[in-house]
Chain A
Amino acid sequence: MTTTTPTRPEAQGIDGPDRQDDASTRGAWLVVMNREIVVRALNKTFLVGLLVSVGIIAALAAFMAWQGSKTDSFTVAVPAGDTVAAASVTAADAVPEEQGGGAELTVLEVPDDAAARAALTDGEADAWLHPEADSADGWVLTGEANPDSTLTRLLTAGVAQQTLEANAEAAGTTTAELTAGSTLSTDRLDGDAVDSQTLFFASFALALLFFIGALGSGQMIAGSVVEEKQSRLVEIMATAVPLRHLLAGKVLGSSVVALAQNVVFAAVGLAALSFTPTASILPSLSTSLVWFVLFFAVGFLGLAALYAVAGALASRTEDLQHTTTPMTMAIMGVYFLTFSASGTFETVLSYVPVANVVSMPVRVLSGDAAWWEPIVSLLILAAFAVVALLVSERAYRGALLQTGGRIGWKRALGAAG
């Protein structure tokens, strides 16, 4: 809809009723929003930050792909002719990846202890498996420093298996008879393929997306508000349009930019993931990301409004650090809590604004959330955003035209008529 704006001041009627002034300023927030988007999108710092972030995401995905394709390999020195030691290493090598193995173990026979030590110092061998001086006491795994933990775990099992076999034979039975009926396998009802490691990575990525988007865009809004306040531009604008139009334009404009930025990040991340071994989780991750974008869009509206107030409470750019502290702390808190949360705590967080922006999509990804849970959580977040917008509108009006030092929330809310 277009509003026909009288361009000749004479036509407006200086003493016209308030209805008329509403009509003449109706589209003002759109003008403000357009400027906010154009200025932000053309800002060099913003563009460079965007490119760097995209680069980091691509590099992370490449690292993950490399990690996934890489297998650990070890060379283990054993005393020449010690069949039990050699067999233990072979057994460890044979443990399949699903049972925590998948490493390549090679046997290196050494004639004596001195040769074994030399092999360790030269780096020819990663560890040296040899019987304790009194062989009844078991085995020793010597490394140049501490032996690798994966290797130790695999060899502990390997040695135990070999010893068990030898002891069983001595007792006139077999390992199979001794361990019959002791196998344990796992099964899951949901059939979801998202393992805990991927889930951790995904929650970390979502928390980071939220952190970068909310903090970066939030600071930009606060900065642009105080810029207008400090230069008294806002006084010129306040005589032209109602202040709430300024706030609405700013909040919407920066939300659009922040959201676009996150959509770019998410798209790049998904595209990069499709080249990695974790590509199988793409469908469930996409659903989760769609929820994340939705949650972010709603939650950021509230945060953006609060950041605009933080800008209005400051009198100079130098005050910003102080006035934005509560928001910065909240966002940092969300970041640290959400990517490490689990269990009941995570369930609670997935309903608390604005932590639910991260926690609920993570629970959707893990398959832990029922279909209605994200909807309820989103409604709670929307309620938070509405309250934040209403309170901010009042505080913004109250603080924006006050000059001289930092202003408190209480004074700002009290000053608005």
Chain B
Amino acid sequence: MNNDSLEVRGLTRTFGDLTAVDDVSFTAPAGQLTGFVGGNGAGKTTTMRMIMGVLAPTAGEVLFGGEPVTRAGRRTFGYMPEERGLYPKQPVLDQLVYLARLRGIAAPKARAEVLDMLDRLGLAGRSKEHVEKLSLGNQQRVQIVAALMGTPRLLVLDEPFSGLDPAAVDGMVDLLAEHTARGVPVLFSSHQLDLVERLCERLVILKTGRVMADGAPADLQETGALRHRLVVDGDAGWVRGVPGVHAVDVDGPVALLEIADDGALQRLLAAAVERGVLRELTPLKPTLAQIYREVTA
């Protein structure tokens, strides 16, 4: 069991005049899935490349288990780069064993492990095929094996779910869950917000190189602008006159409201009771997509 977390402190990278990553700090806790979200050019890939030591940071540091990451440390990290590709003309098994050997795993052990993982991803019969003969989804699975072999202590996966069908996504989620279960922090980037919402225990939202939000999805939902749904008898148009209450939408007896503070809430309740029957007043939690749109707006 390992309980080391990944910590990124003040990571900055400039390319000429462009600051691609600007003072980014966050933590990917041990045993948790951390989702890395942001639009194109937000700096996700650049940050991941710096974590993996592929790109030198202009400033800032990467810590694992509280200590700066060394080359030896990075050898034990599993990494899946953004653009996929393997040796197109080499058989699947051969190149996975080659990559494993570069990471210091002995050939027989690497072979056994690779074959086992290919089997679990439904590629058992295709280990001798050339990578270029596989479908894109299957090539992606081979890449996943490349990242997961050798019992990694940290997983950094750039868009691991893109191009996978729902069944493959579930298979992948199960695989990742095994790694978080043994205490490995997993950092992955994705454009699929629904997936991130479903999977992640932690979320980092990036925009133009800066961290816009960082925390558990539930916490982020709390901090977002809370809305209420109000249902009364008769037309709810009167809500527009209550001080401190902003009517986002009124449709007959149903209104969508933003309430400034507790005082405004009390005034609203009093007004509703005065006018007749109050059927419903529910706080609405924003979806991740809403939070994302809000913080990156």
Contact A231–B65 (Cβ < 8 Å): no
B109 within 8 A of A: yes
Given known A-B contacts A8-B151, A39-B90, A235-B52, A24 and B72 have beta carbons under 8 A apart: yes
What residues on B are CB-neighbors of A240 within 8 Å?
75, 99, 102-104
- The range of chain B's interface size is 35 or more
B2 proximal to A (CB < 8 A): yes
The A interface is mostly helix, strand or loop, or mixed, namely: helix
Chain A min CB distance to B108 (Å): 10
B171 to chain A: which residues have CB within 8 Å? Answer: none
Q: Closest chain B residue to A402 by CB distance?
A: B55
Name the residue in B2, B75, B104, B147 with the highest tally of chain A Cβ atoms < 10 Å from its Cβ.
Answer: B104
Interface residues of B in 70-104 (CB under 8 A from A): 70-77, 79, 81-88, 90, 98-99, 101-104
Q: Tell me if A178 is interfacial: C-beta within 8 Å of chain B.
A: no
- Decide: B55 and A401 in contact? CB cutoff 8 A: yes
Cβ B99 vs Cβ A236 within 8 A: yes
Contact B54 A239 (CB under 8 A): yes
- Cross-chain contact B101 with A21 (CB below 8 angstroms): no
Does B49 make an interface contact (CB < 8 A)?
yes
Contact B106 A14 (CB under 8 A): no
A66 shortest CB reach to chain B, Å: 41
Q: Residue of B at shortest CB range from A26?
A: B104
Q: How far is the CB of B100 from chain A (nearest CB, A)?
A: 9
Contact indicator B49/A235 (Cβ below 8 Å): yes
- Name the distance in Å between A14's Cβ and chain B's nearest Cβ: 4
Residues of A within 8 A of B65 (CB): 14-15
The answer on a CB contact under 8 Å between A236 and B72 is no
Interface mask (A31-54 → B, CB under 8 Å = 1, otherwise 0): 110010001000000000000000
Tell me if B69 is interfacial: C-beta within 8 Å of chain A: yes
A7 x B105 contact (CB < 8 A): yes
Instruction: Give min CB distance, A47 to chain B, whole Å.
Output: 14
**CA of A28 to CA of B104 in the docked complex: distance in angstroms?**
8
Which A residues are in CB contact (< 8 Å) with B85? Answer: 230-233
List residues of chain A with CB under 8 Å of any chain B CB: 5-10, 12-16, 18, 20-21, 24-25, 28, 31-32, 35, 39, 227-228, 230-233, 235-242, 401, 417
Sample (28) of A-B pairs whose CB atoms are under 8 Å apart: A5-B104, A9-B151, A10-B2, A12-B75, A14-B72, A14-B73, A14-B153, A15-B68, A15-B70, A15-B72, A15-B73, A16-B73, A21-B75, A24-B72, A25-B104, A39-B87, A228-B87, A231-B83, A231-B84, A231-B85, A232-B85, A235-B49, A236-B79, A237-B99, A238-B53, A240-B103, A242-B71, A401-B55
